[in-house]
């Protein structure tokens, strides 16, 4: 198919809808037929026999470092299994009965983590909980804001206990007899790729695809061909699916279906893309059809989603930021020739690392607690306190595991481009806290302005508002702009990456926050907005790109300093790791000290 960033009209979720069917039941652990909870501390004895799990009945316990617990789930082969793990220092894997690793489901980061996978059947897999060493808490504080009368002594929402876990299987959805989305439901697109046309001709003459796949293995995928002076034709190709393949992370922003080339093992989808594009993506072959509503069926793509096996450029999400755990972990990366370089986004040999501490702060007003990570780069303690900067960043786990934020700070400082800058990474609370707190929420804004920031100041982590940046992506970008509006006495800089400015309270038109800034007095805040070319409006919904521009226009009209960027990308951490550095340079950076650094900043950031 040939698209330029939008899904062709007439396509949508309708191809994913299925008629109703009851989900499969699962086995139970006790003879009486009820789920049996394990002992509160399973560290006292090794559990050798695999225990059976039951749907919607949480299983909790505690493991010592190095100990593991094997579990079984009576699910039919091909079923989509959804669940949730709340654990600190306990990972969840799928393994074969003889212990061979198949898939990492959860890293056990201390908050609720939802997972989805496609079962191979009870006889062919085990779930394994495994305790690993975890960074301990430097402090755990009860959070009562100064406005509420100061801090109390009792901790209401205690920090997670290392090794403790609660595992819940929420759904087991048996595959329907039809199996997968039929190819006939995919609206065909003309074949435009010269290389694929040549293969099509070869197949028509009785040839096969072996030489094509050998070529793809040598050169790597996706298949990139010239289109015009400003664009490439990019063809994503997959080998050997049974019934269907979907592309996750496509320029259209949807789960684009791939087309099959005749009756061969070649599946393809083509896009005309600017030559400076960068994005991450994955493939989901043979996504099961299950009896569920459209949203759950849409999320079933996660059950088979995996990296492109022929793309050498991958982006892992493992705890050590190195190789991915398995083919399902991380994403593949497309970087076209003119994409902006990201010179500060990977740890460098010879650049000293600082100190990362984990703290716990709970809030009576919010009714939860969360991790607060504090990173002090090398030399920060010895630097002039009056010259230090502070970065406060939402979505802590993503900006520690997926984006190496400490390394980015270290590299910028090592190049002399950034003053001594401490980083505070604010984790999300459990469950649906992120979606409740980050969209404009006065209670959460008060937590930031009246509880977190005074607590940080008491720890010696503070800077004047003109040297303090609040930052985030998606809902985090939206929250950054809202919290700064509410508390400009703390935050004088906003760094927003693909901020969700389309958001509005129920019954109001999009970009509610732009109207709040328009009605407010002019505030001493500087802004950096970054949005993706592929984040435009679609299907009658307001887009991130347009609403970011609208907010920027409002702020410029009020006299605020605004830097606005649009890049050829989507809603994507692989881009945000570069734009985080560029936003910091735009808001707080120093003049490059050499011509080489000046050129590097210009190429990477356009500054």
Residues 206 and 87 occupy one common structural domain: no
Per-residue confidence band for 538, with pLDDT thresholds at 50, 70 and 90? confident
The residue ranking higher by pLDDT, 8 or 371, is 371
**Is residue 345, in this structure, part of any structural domain at all?**
no
Rounded mean pLDDT, 35-48: 41
**Is residue 26, in this structure, part of any structural domain at all?**
no
Residue whose pair of structure tokens reads 């960074």 in the numeric block: 135
**Is residue 348, in this structure, part of any structural domain at all?**
no
In this model, does residue 184 exceed pLDDT 70?
A: no
- Domains held by the chain: number: 3
Contact predicate 484/508, CB 8 Å: no
pLDDT (tens digit per residue) in 432-457: 999 999 999 999 999 999 999 999 99
Residues 288 and 306 occupy one common structural domain: yes
Residues 510 and 561 occupy one common structural domain: yes
Residue whose pair of structure tokens reads 């082969």 in the numeric block: 77
pLDDT (tens digit per residue) in 487-534: 999 999 999 999 999 999 999 999 999 999 999 999 999 999 999 999
Residues 11 and 147 occupy one common structural domain: no
Per-residue confidence band for 151, with pLDDT thresholds at 50, 70 and 90? very low
Residues 227 and 318 occupy one common structural domain: yes
Of the candidates 369, 352, 307, 297, the residue with the CA atom closest to the CA atom of residue 104:
307
What is the domain-level CATH number for residue 164? 2.60.120.380
- What is the C-alpha separation between 137 and 395, in angstroms, rounded? 18
In this model, does residue 144 exceed pLDDT 60?
A: no
In this model, does residue 148 exceed pLDDT 70?
A: no
In this model, does residue 115 exceed pLDDT 70?
A: yes
Of the candidates 193, 152, 230, 191, the residue with the CA atom closest to the CA atom of residue 533:
230
- What is the C-alpha separation between 428 and 56, in angstroms, rounded? 24
Residues 184 and 307 occupy one common structural domain: yes
Contact predicate 479/394, CB 8 Å: yes
Contact predicate 252/3, CB 8 Å: yes
**Is residue 346, in this structure, part of any structural domain at all?**
no
- Spell 566-593 as b/e; 16+ CB within 10 A means b: ebbbbbbbbbbbbbbbbbbbbbbbeebe
Residue 607, pLDDT score:
94
Domain boundary among 303, 335, 367: 335
Contact predicate 141/156, CB 8 Å: no
Cβ contacts of 425 within 8 Å, gap of 6 or more? 372, 373, 374, 375, 393, 396, 399, 400, 405
What is the domain-level CATH number for residue 235? 2.60.40.10
Residues 166 and 312 occupy one common structural domain: no
pTM: 0.89
Element holding 473 (H helix, E strand): strand 468-473
233 has which bridge partners? Answer: 225, 272
Residues 216 and 166 occupy one common structural domain: no
331 has which bridge partners? Answer: 315
Residue whose pair of structure tokens reads 């630097």 in the numeric block: 383
Q: Which domain holds residue 489?
A: 355-605
**Is residue 28, in this structure, part of any structural domain at all?**
no
Contact predicate 117/124, CB 8 Å: no
Rounded mean pLDDT, 571-588: 97
Instruction: Share the mean pLDDT of the chain.
Output: 88
In this model, does residue 155 exceed pLDDT 80?
A: no
What is the domain-level CATH number for residue 418? 3.40.50.1820
Pairing of strands 526-532, 493-497: parallel
Tokens of 78: 């091909």
Residues 513 and 454 occupy one common structural domain: yes
Per-residue confidence band for 35, with pLDDT thresholds at 50, 70 and 90? very low
Residues 595 and 567 occupy one common structural domain: yes
Residue 178, pLDDT score:
62
- What is the C-alpha separation between 284 and 286, in angstroms, rounded? 7
Per-residue confidence band for 51, with pLDDT thresholds at 50, 70 and 90? confident
Secondary structure, 3-state, 101-153: EEEEEECCEEEEEEEEEECCCHHHCEEEEEECCCCCEEEEEEECCHHHCCCCC
Using a 10 angstrom Cβ sphere, with 0-12 exposed, 13-18 middle and 19 or more buried, the burial of residue 6 is: middle
Per-residue confidence band for 590, with pLDDT thresholds at 50, 70 and 90? confident
Domain boundary among 173, 198, 233: 173
Residue whose pair of structure tokens reads 């607590």 in the numeric block: 455
**Is residue 590, in this structure, part of any structural domain at all?**
yes
pLDDT (tens digit per residue) in 508-521: 999 999 999 999 99
**Is residue 29, in this structure, part of any structural domain at all?**
no
Rounded mean pLDDT, 474-487: 99
- What is the C-alpha separation between 604 and 607, in angstroms, rounded? 8
Cβ contacts of 533 within 8 Å, gap of 6 or more? 5, 274, 277, 545, 566, 567, 568, 569
Tokens of 449: 């302005």
In this model, does residue 143 exceed pLDDT 70?
A: no
Residue 252, pLDDT score:
85
Per-residue confidence band for 27, with pLDDT thresholds at 50, 70 and 90? very low
Residues 205 and 163 occupy one common structural domain: no
Tokens of 607: 């500054």
Contact predicate 108/91, CB 8 Å: yes
Cis peptide before 222 (omega within 30 of 0): yes
What is the torsional sign of CA 212, 217, 222, 226?
negative
Residues 315 and 431 occupy one common structural domain: no
Tell me how far apart the terminal alpha carbons of the chain are, to the nearest angstrom: 37
Cβ contacts of 553 within 8 Å, gap of 6 or more? none
**Is residue 530, in this structure, part of any structural domain at all?**
yes
């Amino acid at each position: 198919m040939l698209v330029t960033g939008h899904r062709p009209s007439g396509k949508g979720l309708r191809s994913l809808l299925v008629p109703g069917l009851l989900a499969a039941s699962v086995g139970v652990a006790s003879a009486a037929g009820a789920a049996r909870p394990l002992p509160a501390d399973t560290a006292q004895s090794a559990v050798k026999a695999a225990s059976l799990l039951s749907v919607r009945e949480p299983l909790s316990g505690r493991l010592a470092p190095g100990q593991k617990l094997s579990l079984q789930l009576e699910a039919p082969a091909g079923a989509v299994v959804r669940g949730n793990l709340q654990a600190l220092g306990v990972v969840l894997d799928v393994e074969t009965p003889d212990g061979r690793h198949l898939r990492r489901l959860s890293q056990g980061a201390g908050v609720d983590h939802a997972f989805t996978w496609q079962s191979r059947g009870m006889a062919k897999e085990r779930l394994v909980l495994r305790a690993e060493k975890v960074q301990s808490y430097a402090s755990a504080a009860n959070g009562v804001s100064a406005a509420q009368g100061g801090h109390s002594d009792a901790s209401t929402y205690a920090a997670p206990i290392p090794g403790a876990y609660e595992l819940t299987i929420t759904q087991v959805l048996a595959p329907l007899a039809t199996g997968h989305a039929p190819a006939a439901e995919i609206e065909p697109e003309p074949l435009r790729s010269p290389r694929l046309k040549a293969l099509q001709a070869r197949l028509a003459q009785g040839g096969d695809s072996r030489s094509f796949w050998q070529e793809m293995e040598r050169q790597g995928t996706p298949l990139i061909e010239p289109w015009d002076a400003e664009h490439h034709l990019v063809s994503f190709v997959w080998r050997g699916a049974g019934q269907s393949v979907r592309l996750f992370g496509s320029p259209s922003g949807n789960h684009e279906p791939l087309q099959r080339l005749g009756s061969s093992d070649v599946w393809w989808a083509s896009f005309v893309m600017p030559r400076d594009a960068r994005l991450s993506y994955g493939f989901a072959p043979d996504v099961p059809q299950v009896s569920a509503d459209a949203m759950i069926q849409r999320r079933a793509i996660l059950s088979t989603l995996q990296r492109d096996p022929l793309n050498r450029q991958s982006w892992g999400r493992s705890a050590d930021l190195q190789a991915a755990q398995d083919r399902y972990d991380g994403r593949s990366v497309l970087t076209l020739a003119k994409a902006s370089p990201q010179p500060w986004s990977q740890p460098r040999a010879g650049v000293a690392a600082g100190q990362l501490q984990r703290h716990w702060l709970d809030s009576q007003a919010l009714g939860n607690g969360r991790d607060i990570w504090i990173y002090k780069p090398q030399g920060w303690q010895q630097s002039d306190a009056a010259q230090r900067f502070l970065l406060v960043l939402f979505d802590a786990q993503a900006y520690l595991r997926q984006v190496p934020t400490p390394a980015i700070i270290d590299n910028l400082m090592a190049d002399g481009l950034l003053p001594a800058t401490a980083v505070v990474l604010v984790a999300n609370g459990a469950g649906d806290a992120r979606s409740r707190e980050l969209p404009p929420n006065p209670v959460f804004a008060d937590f930031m302005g009246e509880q977190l920031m005074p607590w940080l100041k008491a720890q010696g982590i503070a800077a004047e508002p003109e040297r303090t940046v609040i930052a985030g992506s998606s809902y985090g970008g939206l929250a950054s702009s809202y919290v700064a509006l509410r508390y400009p006495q703390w935050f004088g800089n906003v760094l927003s990456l693909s901020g969700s400015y389309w958001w509005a309270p129920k019954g109001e038109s999009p970009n509610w926050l732009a109207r709040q800034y328009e009605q407010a007095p002019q505030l001493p805040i500087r802004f950096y907005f970054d949005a993706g070319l592929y984040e435009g409006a679609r299907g009658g919904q307001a887009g991130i790109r347009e609403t970011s521009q609208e907010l920027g226009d409002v702020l410029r009209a009020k006299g605020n300093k605004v830097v606005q960027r649009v890049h050829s990308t989507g809603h994507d951490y692989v881009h945000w790791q570069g734009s985080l550095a560029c936003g910091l340079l735009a808001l707080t950076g120093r003049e490059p000290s050499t011509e080489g650094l000046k050129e590097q900043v210009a190429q990477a950031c356009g500054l």
